[in-house]
Structure 1
Amino acid sequence: MPFDGCCPDCKLPGDDCPLVWGKCSHCFHMHCIVKWLNSQQVQQLCPMCRQDWKFKE
């Protein structure tokens, strides 16, 4: 599984590097998607499909 590891910002996989899903069904490490969303100037879009990013509840 590609998500068994951790994101580049973390040293060890586990609870400090959780996976999150968007309503578009794409999945990312929490740190990765937050960094991506913070880098967006206007709209916060999914990096895969470019739909508006909303966290799946």
Structure 2
Amino acid sequence: MKLTITDWWSVAGWKWDVPDDDVCGICRAPFDACCPQCKIPGDDCPLIWGECTHVFHMHCLLKWLEAESSQQQCPMDRRVWVTAS
């Protein structure tokens, strides 16, 4: 018995590469929304990952790091902030 495949259909799934915790640890707004500084979701509000694997809205983190009290540390685990490459 010989089998000949005449048609082949593949099915694929996808999802956004968003962290399990789907809210910013600083402003507590969802990642698919925008940070308090932005007006339109998604346009100018990218996410930023740290080497510690924590994720924040970029604007929230930049504002956090500008504060003297932050001591350039991750707001979640207080390790020195290093942006993941």
Structure showing greater Rg: 2
Cα RMSD of the aligned pairs, angstroms, is: 1.5
TM-score by length of 2: 0.62
Segments of 4+ moved more than 2 angstroms: 40-43
TM-score by length of 1: 0.89
Q: Give the distance between the partners of 1:44 and 1:7, measured in 2 at CA.
A: 20
Q: Which runs of 5+ in 1 are unaligned?
A: none
Task: Pick 1 or 2: higher relative contact order, CA cutoff 8 A, min separation 6.
Answer: 1
Q: Which runs of 5+ in 2 are unaligned?
A: 1-21, 23-29
User: Equivalent pairs: percent with the same residue?
Assistant: 60
Task: Report 1:3-22 matches (<5 A).
Answer: 3-22=31-50
